[in-house]
Amino acid sequence: MSDKINEKIPKYVPEIRGTLRDHMINLPLVIREASGIKVFGKRIKSLAFTTDIAIIKNINADAILAVYPFTPQSVITESLVGASDVPIFCGVGGGLTTGKRVINLALNAEFNGAMGVVVNSPTSNEIVRAVKAVIDIPVIVTVTSERDDIGKRIEAGASILNVSAGKRSAELVKTIRKHFDKFPIIATGGKDEESIRATIQAGANAITYTPPSTAELFKETMERYRRA
């Protein structure tokens, strides 16, 4: 009897869907195997890597990683936070954008309602330390290779590591875990379930997923229209 009581019974999860909003982007279910990272009481396992508001409104990610290859602007942060139903972790520079501007953008991001800020891998530890000193939301530091001194990053004030090493992300996560077994790690998981699971098993707590672009999605829609 006790064995039966202790058996894990799958929980039924009711799901509400609409007719007009039924067409949305669903992230790979394997991401749910990640432990997640609790930020201000909210458990985050999946982050969509996008700044497209239309995609942000039609994807089932737990949060959005809004990092883009341009100089960060507060009007972009404000627009993304205002449009999103889920937390926004926004980029504040650290590559082309440096110095006091990064600090000001981070402070502005917090004021606009971002749940965290992301700095690029070239960001100096001095800037990481300065950003950490003025905001009360997580500072996510991007890591791209084994050459990054993770210990110094954490000492400077990194709250979470964002591992972005392309095909080598799982390997880099595994290397970091050898020295920092409990530090929060977000990592790119790739496109297929196998690579995502490998990244999770390597030690990533949460996974970033790059959804198809609006152009790619609309191409499929147009093909259906043409066949109709």
Domain-embedded: residue 169: yes
Give the predicted TM-score (pTM) of the model: 0.88
Q: Which of 11-15, 131-135, 142-146, 200-204 has the lowest average pLDDT?
A: 11-15
pLDDT band per the 50, 70, 90 thresholds, residue 22: low
Q: Note down the domain range covering 77.
A: 25-227
What's the total number of domains in the chain?
1
- What percent of the chain shows pLDDT beyond 70? 94
Domain-embedded: residue 2: no
Stretch (H or E) spanning 150? helix 150-156
The rounded distance, in Å, linking the Cα atoms of 140 and 39 is: 12
Domain-embedded: residue 33: yes
Domain-embedded: residue 59: yes
Domain-embedded: residue 95: yes
Give the dihedral of Cα atoms 101, 89, 24, 189; nearest 10 deg.
110
Q: Is the pLDDT of residue 203 over 80?
A: yes
Q: Is the pLDDT of residue 7 over 70?
A: no
User: pLDDT for 89-126, tens place per residue?
Assistant: 999 988 777 789 999 999 999 999 999 999 999 999 99
Domain-embedded: residue 150: yes
